[in-house]
Amino acid sequence: MDVMRTRRRSRLIGAVAAASGALAAATLAVVAASPAQAAACDAVEYTVVSDWGTGHQATVSLTTGTEAVDGWTLEFDLPAGAAVQSAWNVDWSQSGAAFTGSDVGWNATVAAGQTRELFGLVVGGAAAQPESFSLNGTVCGEADQTTEPDDPTTDPDDPTTPDDPTTDPDDPTDPPDQGECPAGAVCDGFEDQTGTTPGGDWTVGAPDCTGTGTATVDESVVHSGEKSVRVDGGATYCNHVFVGRELPAGTEWFRFYVRHTTAQPATHTTMVAMEDANDGGADLRLGGQNGALQWNRESDDATLPEQSPNGVSMSEPLPVDTWTCVEFQISGGDLSTWVDGALVEGLVVDGVPTHDIDGQWLNKAGWNPSLVDLRLGWESYGSDSDTLWYDDVAFGTERIGC
């Protein structure tokens, strides 16, 4: 994940003051800020969460300084030719390369010293770094890249080079390096499928009815290898369709790649369903609602996050027309979800109720899933359809990574 960051630096202002009069005047027009606004804008982060070459999805976050922000308008320039295709949690416009985004009321306030994700956007064009950001008409400062260059004085293959003390190899939140399938895990890219209908360990169907929904082996759209599974999911309740297989006992880590064609609608949809033997055989479901990813528990219709505006803002949409890596861990009564390696704040259950996120979820005492199967596909509970591809599915007792 690439992070593009702009940070206000007090030493930059000092350098301008020490420059020649003509140069200082020209530079001050760009970087000078009123004390209140300078204190309000400590940093802006432009985080690329998915990059498919011809476009990308990003989020924009603000870190305040000693002053709070109550109402914001953020401006920055996109690369020449780039165009915003969609954005959420923001009232936005684009004129040429200039993008302008303002709060939508409920997300207007950022407390002093707080970091808050303001909005997200999908851009047609390269994932290039904005050179500067302006908050409420005042430039926050110069841009710098948070990714540090390789240190030429260290050799990762040199056994005398000390380990990085900031990383913990036993921390399950640090994804493993992408590579071979870990021992004991199941990794399936559908390469052994021989027909047009998924078979072998996979079965096609739905507990209710499939209607016009179909699942086929596809060789035209793949994440890796030569094959994937394509799901054509229809609208309304009876057009459900899944490809599923049984899970070994003790499975708690899951990973799959998904690509789809239609933005998630406001109504409830499901793309992953798992039977929970500890919940009367009801399904634990991952899908979407209100345009963002959500978990849903069939037995009591609890959602994660809660479907308040602030709750929904703690999740994120599933990008369209690009492969996205989705991971989740379900262990005991805890649940965590990652998208392209980044933990999604609104899709976490950790046993401690968090307002707008898992308070509703934790109303069901003693939730401790025993998952029987994994089904990938489509359920629509309204008039919405989608076409999805699944590839490189993996699950096991340890994190597999993207």
**Where residue 26 sits, what CATH number does that domain have?**
2.60.40.290
340 with 249, same domain?
yes
Task: Report if residue 37 sits inside a domain.
Answer: yes
98 with 223, same domain?
no
376 with 320, same domain?
yes
341 with 194, same domain?
yes
Task: Report if residue 247 sits inside a domain.
Answer: yes
Task: Report if residue 309 sits inside a domain.
Answer: yes
Last residue of one domain, picked from the residues 129, 145, 161: 145
Task: Report if residue 151 sits inside a domain.
Answer: no
Last residue of one domain, picked from the residues 92, 120, 145: 145
The pLDDT tens digits of the residues spanning 148-189 come to 334 444 444 444 434 443 334 344 555 555 557 888 899 999
What domain count does the chain have?
2
Give the global pTM.
0.60
227 with 341, same domain?
yes
271 with 331, same domain?
yes
26 vs 306, more confident = 306
196 with 259, same domain?
yes
Last residue of one domain, picked from the residues 145, 175, 202: 145
The pLDDT tens digits of the residues spanning 261-297 come to 999 999 999 999 999 999 999 999 999 999 999 999 9
**Where residue 241 sits, what CATH number does that domain have?**
2.60.120.200
124 with 239, same domain?
no
Task: Report if residue 18 sits inside a domain.
Answer: yes
103 with 15, same domain?
yes
187 vs 141, more confident = 187
Share above pLDDT 70 across residues of the chain, in percent, rounded to a whole number: 81
271 with 370, same domain?
yes
131 with 207, same domain?
no
Provide the domain limits for residue 298: 186-396
Task: Report if residue 150 sits inside a domain.
Answer: no
Q: Is the pLDDT of residue 105 over 90?
A: no
218 with 79, same domain?
no
Task: Report if residue 168 sits inside a domain.
Answer: no
Task: Report if residue 159 sits inside a domain.
Answer: no
For 263, other C-beta atoms within 10 Å of its C-beta total: 18
